Amino acid sequence: MAFHQARKRFGQNFLVDLAVIDQILRAIALEPDDRVIEIGPGLSALTGPMLDRLQHLTVVEIDRDLADRLRQAHPPSRLTVVQADALLLDYASFGSDIRLVGNLPYNISSPLLFAFLPFADHIRDQHFMLQREVIDRMVAKPGTGDYSRLSVMLQSRYRMQKLFDVMPESFDPPPRVVSSVVRMIPLGPDRPQAIDAGLFERVVQRAFSQRRKMLRGVMSDWKDKIPWEALAIPPTARAEELSVRDYIALTDALHQAGIR
């Protein structure tokens, strides 16, 4: 099979460490009839071993050359190759109870995580390899330096667990950062959630837009509509001090005050 040069514009770093591949597969614990979608299969480091365990696998690959290689290597009865931008796909079209797996391109990892959010009801779980500092932000607790908009938005929708780190030498070419693997399990319909999901997103985005400022300053045009004392949120608090439940309560209070 012809040599493939990693393409920087696609954020390609190919996993080559067999021990790490085995560790990922053990974490995912595939069953033959699982409905799995691999994001960014690249040179098939995970694709081949997953096909050994699955009846059928779907992969999403933006690189035309890599998509063609995959089609040549595996019959369509075993492997469906979707040549597309993973940011733009309608994941609901794949059905329900899907499992997402992938070594996500680090240059678009946060946009991808947000792109998957609207389809969480269709997803059983997600196992991704990402830059370690991104996963540290995903699982960060309130009051810590890593706690961010990404933390709040993802923790409002998933139960997440950082599984293990992966060193740069496990890839070709080696990235300049340490990677980690995360497990993300969507929370059910009984999870705490805001009345207005769109407003919740706006509130969180605004709060972290100037994270060093007090909330009364960042939300200056809303501050008189916020029942600070009833919510037990000091107006002098900063964005990273509020829990997911605090943001939900704050959003609902603004919604009741007529903010849309």
Tokens of 93: 């079209």
143-152: buried (b, 16+ CB within 10 Å) or exposed (e) per residue?
A: eeebbbbbbb
8 has a pLDDT exceeding 70:
no
SS3 85: coil
Domain end marker among 132, 160, 186? 186
Residue numbers of the domain that contains 243: 197-256
108 has a pLDDT exceeding 60:
yes
Domain end marker among 129, 158, 186? 186
**Within-domain flag for 136:** yes
In three-state form (DSSP H/G/I as H, E/B as E, the rest C), the secondary structure along 121-165 is HHEEEEEEEEEHHHHHHHCCCCCCCCCCHHHHHHHCCEEEEEEEE
182 and 201, same domain (yes or no): no
50 and 74, same domain (yes or no): yes
Task: State the pLDDT at residue 28.
Answer: 98
User: Taking residues 20-24, what's their average pLDDT?
Assistant: 97
Domain count, the chain: 2
Task: State the pLDDT at residue 139.
Answer: 98
**Within-domain flag for 77:** yes
- Of 42-46, 88-92, 127-131, 133-137, minimum mean pLDDT range: 42-46
46 has a pLDDT exceeding 90:
yes
Task: State the pLDDT at residue 6.
Answer: 42
- 1 band by pLDDT with thresholds 50, 70 and 90: very low
97 and 210, same domain (yes or no): no
Whether the upstream peptide bond of residue 49 has omega within 30° of 0, thus cis, is no
Residue with tokens 């995970």: 46
112 and 178, same domain (yes or no): yes
78 has a pLDDT exceeding 50:
yes
Residue 240 and residue 218 in contact, taking contact as beta carbons nearer than 8 Å: no
CATH classification at residue 227: 1.10.8.100
* Short-list 91, 4, 93, CA closest to 41: 4
SS3 102: strand
CATH classification at residue 129: 3.40.50.150
User: Taking residues 79-84, what's their average pLDDT?
Assistant: 98
For residue 123, the Cα-to-chain-centroid distance in whole angstroms is 12
Task: State the pLDDT at residue 211.
Answer: 87
Task: State the pLDDT at residue 10.
Answer: 42
Average pLDDT, the chain: 94
pTM score of the predicted model: 0.92
122-167 per-position pLDDT tens digit: 999 999 999 999 999 999 999 999 999 999 999 999 999 999 999 9
Task: State the pLDDT at residue 12.
Answer: 57
166-223 per-position pLDDT tens digit: 999 999 889 889 999 999 999 999 999 999 999 999 999 999 999 889 999 999 999 9
**Within-domain flag for 30:** yes
Q: What are the CA-CA distances from residue 175 to residues 23, 38, 46, 159 (Å)?
A: 19, 21, 18, 28
24 and 125, same domain (yes or no): yes
Task: State the pLDDT at residue 2.
Answer: 41
Q: Which residues contact 10 (CB under 8 A, 6 or more apart)?
A: 62, 63, 105
**Within-domain flag for 1:** no
**Within-domain flag for 216:** yes
